[in-house]
Every structure is written in structure tokens, then in C-alpha cells.
Amino acid sequence: MPPPGRRRAAPPIGSDGSCRPWRPCAPPPRRGGLGARIALVLGVWLATIGIARADDAQALQLAIRQLVAAQHESGLFRFGFDFANGTAHETGTTKNEKTTTIVRQAVGAYGLAKYYLHTGDAGVRPTIERAIEALAARSIPVSPGGVPAWMQRAGLFDIPWGRRTLTWLLSGLGLLHGTEGAGRLVAADGGLDTAWVGGTAMALLAELHYARASGDERFASWRRAWLDGIMALYVEGAGFREFAGSIDETPLSNAEAWLALSFLPPAEAASLGDRLARLDRYMVGTYTAAPTLHMVHWGTMAAAQRGDAIDARAARDLVESVADHVLRTIPAERVLDENTCVLVEGFAAMDQVFRRAPPHDGELAARIEARIALEMTKNLALQIVPGQAEVERSDGRRLPIPDDARAAGAFIAMRSRPVIRVDYTAHCISALIELQRRAARR
């Protein structure tokens, strides 16, 4: 079996359009009473924590104010706070922690820029500008490697054996990447081993939303540099290598890069030639056949944003495949105390795809609607409101919220481990915006 995220051919759809490549033609058995049972559990839980739910508009404004207030002079955000031990979390110490921290900082910038584009609220503009400048200051040069395109298309990076040896060999020959040129990747500590392609995709998304909302082209050179950096890791006929020194791609990094490219203005999109169209076909074909959790938000939003560039029925099959996979593998009762704004982002964006090609599976669409309602009822109850003095852990222990946490408006990650983090709040901002857009379309 090829490594996750690599090329897979999608099985054919039935000629009458009644079948799906990700499920037998026979309708699945219905789960009678599941929604009622979850709703009952949620109702009891919400009653016990004693926190009044804010409406969606108020919740969005609270979250925005929290992120704006959490920005350091450096332009980055206060990363997170752990209420169990009363400590702030910032950069981390390990390579993985440093890498994920800078990526999540970029997600915070994207969340604010998405809000700016959605509302036109220029009050957040200076915060976004400082965040983009901070990400630019942490970007390092990269250029494409020397592996011929025909070898990439032939599947050189897909071999299931000897991958570590191949990586070592290509890296030693300088064929994976260069360290000069116009491309830039956002890095945590100045080294390419902490420059994950998804972090640069989030920085590019923040700039694209900012430029579209403000009309300000001051960061246009960084837009081009980040685009060149992402494309330096593009694999012909496939997706994106997640690091410059790696031959591996992942569903998460693929989806983030796809979403960033889906927002490109016409001039930048045209500069890619037919590579964007080929990427569309690869992403739709691969993840319709083999859906993953990471496609539910970034991938679904990308498919919606690409619009008519993707065949309407193919896009519908992709999002139905992803939705069915997530609903089956992550039932609501499994994540009852967890922040699931990432799920809602994707579920809400699916409506845009369904409007182009109405869902064949009415039962699946109904399950998506019910799941959105359940998850957002829970997620909104995880938001810290002004004046709240403590949070209750899932074991019943009450933990104080210190004033210096600047937590009002942030969303808790989970009740079993009450922490706040910049990306959790940004994902909830994005989910609330997607819900508002969905309501406006109806």
C-alpha cells in the first residue's frame, strides 16, 4: 500500500450517478436515536457547567477581541495557557513543538484576516499587519530541487520501500531543494527542518485575505515569495512534500497548501500554468477514494473555494466522502468534551459545494446538519466569557482563571485538559464565519 496521502486512483462512479466510490450503492443502516442520546448528554452537561451560551455573533466578537489583545510586540500571539498548572505556553523546546507553534501562530493570523475579509472591520487591520510582518521576518530562502519532473510524475517519491535511503541520497546530492532563490518558507528557528509547508500556506492565506479585504498590496512581494516557497515543494503529479528535506507528503499539508492556492488572485494563479488544475484532480481523486479527517476543514473549504474550476459532481463526491468518513469514525459521543470547531468549519463549507451539485445522499446531509448543531452547542459552551473566574475540568475540579491569562473570548481545547491556544480560537472564528456565510446563502 502506498504511503498515506500519495497517489490513489478513485474507483469509478456508477453510470447512473447513484453510487459513491467510497460506499456501496446500498444505503447504510440508519442509527436510530443516536442524535437524541447525544443531545440528552449535552443538555445535562451544559446545565451542570452553568455558563450561558453567547449567540454566534457575540461569540465571534469575543474571540476576535481576545486574539487582538493576545498579540505580543513581536507580532506573534500569546500562544496558549494551561489552567491545570497555571502556566503560559509559548515556543516549545523540541523540533516538533517549535514547528507546530509557528504553524499555529500563522493559523491565528489567518483567522483574523478571514474575519477582516468577512466583515470589513478595519479595527483588526493593524494586528494582522504586525502578524504578517512577524511571519515574514521568520521566513527563510528555499528553491526547487533538481529531481526531473518526469521522474516525479513517474512516482519516484511514491516508492513504499527504501524511503529513508532515497531521502538521504537525494538530499546528499542537493536534489531535494536549494537554499537560495526567491522562495520563502516560514520557519520556527531559522532552519528548514522547522519550515513545514502548511505553516507557509497559512501565512499566504493570511496575506491573501488581508490584501483582498484592504486593497493594500504592501505584502505582495511576500505573497509571491511564499507562493514560490510552497511550489518549491510541489511534486509533479501529486501534492506537496511537507518539508524541504523530506520526500513525504501528508493529507494535512496537502489540504492546507491546496486551500492557500485556491485563494490566489488570477495573475498568481495563471503563473502556475496547468499545475493548479492538475492539483485539483489529484486532491479530488485521492481523497474521494481515501478520505481523512484532515480534509474535513482545509480540504472542504478548498473544494468550495475552487468553485467552477472543479466539476460540480466530483467536488460533491469528495465532500460527501469526507463527511461520511468523519461521521462514521468520529461519532459525537467520542468527542463530547473536546473543541471540534475544525469539524464545523468543514461541515458548514460543504453547503457551498452542495449548492452547485445538490447532495444525492439526503440522509447524509441531514446527519451533517444535526452534527453541526450538536458540535456548536458544545463549542460555544467551551468559550471563556468576560467575568468568568474558573473553568471546570471533566473530573469536576474547578481551576482558577488568572487575570494575566487574558482568556476572555478564547475557546478551551477540551474539558479533560483545560488549555487555551491561539489556533483553537482561530478555528472557532473560522467556523463561526462559515456558519454566517452558510446562513446568508440560504
User: What's the pLDDT score for residue 405?
Assistant: 83
- CA angle, residues 32, 36, 40, in degrees to nearest 5: 150
Domain spans in the chain, listed from the N-terminal domain onward: 41-70+309-419+426-442, 91-273
Dihedral of the alpha carbons of 365, 369, 375, 377, in degrees to the nearest 10: -170
177: helix, coil or strand?
strand
Residue 301 φ then ψ, to 5°: -65, -35
The grid coordinates of residue 428 equal 472557532
For the chain, what percent of residues have pLDDT higher than 90? Answer: 67
Closest CA to 252 of 213, 286, 296, 214: 296
Q: What is the mean pLDDT of residues 119-133?
A: 98
Q: Strand 390-392 relative to strand 398-400: parallel, antiparallel, unpaired?
A: antiparallel
The grid coordinates of residue 160 equal 513504499
Q: Which helix (H) or strand (E) holds 183?
A: strand 177-186
For the chain, what percent of residues have pLDDT higher than 70? Answer: 88
User: What's the pLDDT score for residue 340?
Assistant: 97
Any idea which of 58-62, 64-68, 348-352, 429-433 has the lowest mean pLDDT? Answer: 348-352
Note the helical H segments in 16-87: 34-49, 56-69
Does the pLDDT at position 362 exceed 90?
no
User: What's the pLDDT score for residue 178?
Assistant: 85
Cα 432 to the chain's mean position, in Å? 14
pLDDT bucket at 172, cuts 50 / 70 / 90: confident
In the beta sheet, which residues pair with residue 383? 411
Residue-wise pLDDT tens digits, 383-417: 999 999 999 999 999 999 998 888 999 999 999 99
Q: Quickly tell me which residue has 532515497 as its cell.
A: 166
User: What's the pLDDT score for residue 356?
Assistant: 87
The answer to whether the beta carbons of residues 249 and 190 sit under 8 Å apart is no
Residue-wise pLDDT tens digits, 212-239: 999 999 999 999 999 999 999 999 889 9
pTM: 0.86
Q: What is the mean pLDDT of residues 261-271?
A: 94
Q: How many CB atoms neighbour CB 172 within 10 A? A: 9
The answer to whether the beta carbons of residues 317 and 21 sit under 8 Å apart is yes
In the beta sheet, which residues pair with residue 399? 391
242: helix, coil or strand?
coil
CA distances from 160 to 86, 164, 176 (A): 45, 10, 18
Any idea which of 31-45, 165-179, 276-290, 389-403 has the lowest mean pLDDT? Answer: 31-45
Q: Comparing 205 with 45, which gets the higher pLDDT?
A: 205
Name residue 81's amino acid: F
The answer to whether the beta carbons of residues 408 and 62 sit under 8 Å apart is yes
Does the pLDDT at position 333 exceed 60?
yes
160: helix, coil or strand?
coil
Name residue 383's amino acid: Q
User: What's the pLDDT score for residue 295?
Assistant: 93
User: What's the pLDDT score for residue 33?
Assistant: 44
181: helix, coil or strand?
strand
Residue-wise pLDDT tens digits, 1-60: 333 334 333 332 222 233 333 333 333 333 334 444 444 444 444 433 333 344 889 999
Does the pLDDT at position 355 exceed 70?
yes
pLDDT bucket at 150, cuts 50 / 70 / 90: confident
Q: Comparing 418 with 145, which gets the higher pLDDT?
A: 418
Q: Comparing 30 with 250, which gets the higher pLDDT?
A: 250
Residue 183 φ then ψ, to 5°: -70, 150
User: What's the pLDDT score for residue 276?
Assistant: 96
Distance CA 376, CA 379 (A): 5
* Mean pLDDT for all residues in the chain: 86
Closest CA to 157 of 249, 78, 231, 72: 249
User: What's the pLDDT score for residue 19?
Assistant: 34
Give the single-character DSSP code of 243. S
